Amino acid sequence: MSVHVQDNPENRAEQHAVKRIKQSVASFKRKKEKGEKIVTLTCYDYSTARILDDAGMDLLLVGDSLAMTVLGHPNTLSVTMDEMLHHVKAVSRGAHYAMVVADMPFMSYQADHMEAIRNAGRFIQEGGAQAVKLEGASDRMVDVVRHLVEIGIPVMGHLGFTPQSVNTLGGFKVQGKTLEAAKKLIGDALRLQEAGVFALVLEMVPVEVASLITRRLRIPTIGIGAGNVCDGQILVVDDLLGRYSDLSPRFVRRYMSSSTLIKEAVNAYAADIESGNFPNNDTEAFTFPDELMPELAAQFEKIFQQFDRK
C-alpha cells in the first residue's frame, strides 16, 4: 500500500547497473563537488541489505536505532557493541556496492581513546564496515575523530539532535533554534570537518542552519529532519516502509504501509492453514514412491506393535 508514488519511478539499480562501483569516501566527495544527491538508509540485516543495495543506495548505515526498531528498547542507549557488531556483519555481507557505516553505540567511544579505536577497529576488521559514525563535537569527540582518522578509519559525524544525548537534551527536540545554538552548531560542524570526518549527519536542524552549514563545508551533509538543502538524505528504513510505529517524527515520509501488508499476508496464511488449503499436496509437498507404498503399509503395523511392546 503505497502512500507516495514518484512521478517518474525509474529503477535506480537499472540506472546504475553499468557504472556501479563500491562507494567510498572519495565517491561522496565527488558527489558533493558535482552537486549529486547522496541517497542513504539505515539497514540492520542481510536480506534488507541485498534489496537496498540492488535498489542503488549509496550508503547503508547500521544505526544504533536498531535498539528501538529491532530490539524494542525505548531509545538507542541500550544497544551493545556485540549486538551492533552482529548486525554490521549481516549488512556487510549483503552490500556489494553501498558503503556500509557502523554506528558506534553509547559508551563504546566516549570514555577512552584506545577503547574507541579498538571498537571502531572491530567494526572494520570483524564487521566488514568501511566507516564508523559517532555523535557530538566536544573536545573529547573531536580528539576521538582525529585519532580514528589518523589510523585509517573513516568517520562520519553527527550533529543536531544526537539520540545518545537524549537525556541531556531533554527529549526529542529540534536543535539550533536560537542564535547561540545555531552559531555553536556551525562551529561544531567546522571543527569536525577539520578533525577529518568525511561526511556529517544533521538531524532535526532548522533548514536555514542546515543550508548555511552545507554551503560552507567541503564535505557532504546528510540530512534527517533538516530539509532538502543537504547534500543527501537518510531515513530509518523501518519508518520509510511503515514497519515501525512507536514514533512518528515530523520529518518521516512513509512510502508504504508494510505492517498492513504483513498482517494481510499472515491472516491469509492462517486462513489457508485452517481451511486445509495450505500446503497443497500436489505442488507444495513431497510424495512417497507409489511402488513402495504396499510394502510400507504392510510394515506399518509391525513397527507400531514393536513400540507398543516396549
The three cell numbers locating residue 186: 556551525
CATH of the domain at 80: 3.20.20.60
Contacts of 119 (CB under 8 A, 6+ apart): 81, 104, 108, 109
Per residue in 69-105, pLDDT (tens digit) is: 999 999 999 999 999 999 999 999 999 999 999 999 9
User: Does 140 fall in a domain?
Assistant: yes
Contacts of 85 (CB under 8 A, 6+ apart): 102, 122, 123, 126, 127
One domain for residues 174 and 289: no
User: Does 283 fall in a domain?
Assistant: yes
252 CB-contact burial (10 Å; exposed 0-12 / middle 13-18 / buried 19+): middle
Among candidate residues 204, 208, 202, the one with its CA nearest the CA of residue 189: 202
Q: Among all chains, which residue has been given the C-alpha cell 539532535?
A: 161
User: Does 58 fall in a domain?
Assistant: yes
Q: What is the pLDDT of residue 310?
A: 57
Q: What is the pLDDT of residue 305?
A: 78
Q: Is 203 a catalytic residue?
A: yes
247, amino acid identity: L
DSSP 198-234: SEEEEES--HHHHHHHHHH-SS-EEEESS-TTSSEEE
Among candidate residues 137, 207, 205, 201, the one with its CA nearest the CA of residue 174: 205
Provide the whole-model pTM: 0.89
User: Does 5 fall in a domain?
Assistant: no
Residue 272, domain extent = 262-309
One domain for residues 134 and 186: yes
The three-class DSSP label of residue 147 is helix
The three cell numbers locating residue 188: 561544531
Q: What is the dihedral of CA 168, 171, 173, 178, to 10 degrees?
A: -40
| Euclidean distance between CA atoms 295 and 292, whole angstroms | 6
Q: Among all chains, which residue has been given the C-alpha cell 567511544?
A: 109
One domain for residues 39 and 108: yes
User: Does 7 fall in a domain?
Assistant: no
One domain for residues 163 and 299: no
One domain for residues 120 and 249: yes
Residues of the chain with pLDDT under 70: 1-19, 170, 308-310
Question: What does the mean pLDDT of the chain come to?
Answer: 92
Rounded to the nearest angstrom, the gap between the alpha carbon of residue 84 and the centroid of all alpha carbons in its chain is 11
| Euclidean distance between CA atoms 266 and 155, whole angstroms | 41
Q: What is the pLDDT of residue 241?
A: 95
The three-class DSSP label of residue 38 is strand
Give the active site residue among 10, 33, 126, 203.
203
One domain for residues 281 and 169: no
| Euclidean distance between CA atoms 54 and 43, whole angstroms | 13
| Euclidean distance between CA atoms 24 and 21, whole angstroms | 9
The three cell numbers locating residue 105: 553505540
Query: How many structural domains are present in the chain?
Result: 2
One domain for residues 268 and 171: no
The number of C-alpha atoms within 13 Å of 89 and in the hemisphere containing its C-beta is 10
One domain for residues 202 and 269: no
